[in-house]
Amino acid sequence: MASAIPLSKELSHNSISISSRLGNSLDVVSRRIGGDDSDSAATIAILYIDSLVDQRTINDHIVQPLMNALLVGAEQEQPTGQGMLERLSRHVIAAGSVAVIRTEEEALEALLNGFCVIMVDGTDEALIAVTAGGEQRSVDEPVTQTVIRGPQHSFTENIFTNLGLIRRIIRSPNLRLQGKRIGRQTQTHVFVASIKGIAKQSVVDEVLRRLDAIDIDGIIESSYVEEFIQDRTFTPFPTLMNIERPDVVAASLLEGQVAVIVDGTPFVLLAPVTFFKFFQSAEDYYQRFDIASFLRLLRHITFIASMLLPALYIAITTYHQEMLPTTLLISLAAQREGIPFPALFEAFLMEITFEVLREAGVRMPRAIGPAVSIVGALVLGQAAVQAGLVSPAMVIVVSFTAISNFVTPQINIAIAARLIRFSLMLLAGMLGLYGIMTGVIVLLTHLAGLQSFGVPYMAPVAPFIWSSWKDIFIRVPRWAMKSRPEMLGGSKRKNNARMPDWQRSRSE
């Protein structure tokens, strides 16, 4: 940054200079109070950007007290310059946070963050008071990560609201929030949240180090940060998680993860993560452990299905027909009778069609939504079968694959499965089950080599850590979760975890 220009003692010079540095924009308001009738003789000036402040705060807590003070003081002897500034700061301005600044740059930064700058003639210092406001989206129900039972609020675009949501869940002095400004132009607030004593200090330091290394014009969404701090770029698998639910972020912090909260987006990043973390839904912890375990197993199975099913169908029907039961083989063969394309091409046709439908569903305006479902379901599904372009079994396979893909609670790992599916289909079409096996081996090797902030991606399966298995494929009852996930935070959560005594006596 260029050397700072200090404020001058002359009030009008300061106010004109700052306004001009903001391009004399119309929404920069410069209000002059006191002195004689002419503007140039005013003793106090208030500077703020109209669009960033709360008008009411300015009126009630800044302008009015100032005017009252000047009126009251009219009969007495008025302090001037520095003395006036101190009086205003101590006795007059009714804002929560007031600070003293000395340079134009500081004044500019304060203005752009919604502060108002109060300058007094005859001193080279100025006051800034917090008056930030303007329209904000209120705290709403989560849109992308919904649960049936559990808290129904989500993060908003305002980082301070978001920090508040987390603080309100974890009322501990150990909750650490370390703030940063990233982005040359946007100067976006980024906070790193962790719990001292649970999160590994090395991970927190690593997150901060990687954040410091970011040099970019602007941060619009947390994905900008994610791409800069993730461990590997050339992998379909995400090494950070994004969450819009305060309860999930709080729970993750309690497990020893570190949250990166970025201003302007409701999606908070969590690191480090493991592969299996992506299959844990918030709901797992709000429902009974038996159904939660069943659903979690189901999620793992459907993830595999969403990756392998079309490939397996292609491989088995074109290379390994002997694996099918005779009646199924005959039924499939009858369906394929008269289909002009090979199974591989047929599968690609349907998969691409589905991807197009899905993309259209996301992008198009809400009002024409039903049209796409009609076109998708009727025209492409039923009509394609009746026209003899694809076999009904293939439609079933592709639909089930698509539905399986939506089961995964985290959309960014589901996307990984979508991409991998296509390459496995190609391998299956060229080499059969042998090709699928090769693809899966390559995939597993890749997964085993991934790391997220020093934590092996496949932990606790590889490396094998038995104590962390209680919350991977199943969720054990809460009293049995006696230690934190070892790779993330480690250390004991409870000393003598066991069934509560009164429950124990009843179950015997």
Please identify which residue in 3, 38, 233, 326 interacts with another protein, judged by CB under 8 A. Answer: 326
* Interface characters, 418-437, with another protein (x: CB under 8 A): -----------xxxxxxx--
Q: Is 337 in the site for another protein (CB under 8 A)?
A: yes
Candidate list 5, 67, 132, 329; residue touching another protein; CB under 8 A: 329
Residue 264 contacts another protein per CB under 8 A: no
Q: Nearest-5° angle of CA 323, CA 325, CA 328? A: 115
What type of residue sits at position 245? R
Q: Which of the stretches 83-91, 184-192, 314-322, 416-424 binds another protein when contact is defined by CB under 8 A? A: 314-322
- C-alpha 314/C-alpha 459 separation (Å) is 32
Q: Helix, strand, or coil here: 44?
A: strand
CB 154 within 8 A of CB 140: yes
Is 347 an interacting residue with respect to another protein (CB under 8 A)? no
- Which one, 291 or 430, has the nearer CB to another protein? 430
Rounded to an integer, what distance in angstroms lies between the CA atom of residue 497 and that of residue 100? 53
Find the shortest distance in angstroms from Cβ 324 to another protein: 8
- Minimal distance, residue 57 CB to another protein, in Å: 57
Out of 333, 352, 364, 371, the only residue in the binding site for another protein (CB under 8 A) is 333
Q: Which is nearer to another protein, 137 or 320 (CB)?
A: 320
Site string for another protein, 379-418 (x = CB under 8 A): -------------x--------------------------
- Provide the minimum distance between the beta carbon of 377 and another protein in the complex, in angstroms, as a whole number: 19
Q: Which of 158, 218, 213 is nearest to 188 (CA)?
A: 218
Residue 288 has φ and ψ, to the nearest 5°, of -60, 150
Q: Which stretch binds another protein (CB under 8 A): 114-122, 334-342, 357-365, 486-494?
A: 334-342
Residue number with CB closer to another protein (201 or 438): 438
Which of 106, 111, 94 lies closest to 46 in space, CA to CA? 111
Kindly state the tokens that stand for 305.
Answer: 């299905």
Exposed, middle or buried by CB within 10 Å (0-12, 13-18, 19+), for 27?
A: exposed
Residue 242: CB partners within 8 Å, gap ≥ 6? Answer: 222, 223, 226, 267, 268, 269, 270, 412
Query: In the complex, what is the shortest distance from the CB of residue 312 to another protein, in angstroms, rounded to a whole number?
Result: 14
Asked if 342 touches another protein (CB under 8 A), the answer is yes
CA distance linking residue 288 with residue 474, whole number of Å: 12
Tokens 């091409």 label which residue? 345
Identity of the residue, 162 or 317, whose beta carbon is nearer to another protein in the bound complex? 317
Q: How far is the CB of 354 from another protein (least distance, A)?
A: 22
By CB under 8 A, name the binding residues for another protein. Answer: 317-322, 326, 329-339, 342-343, 392, 429-435, 438
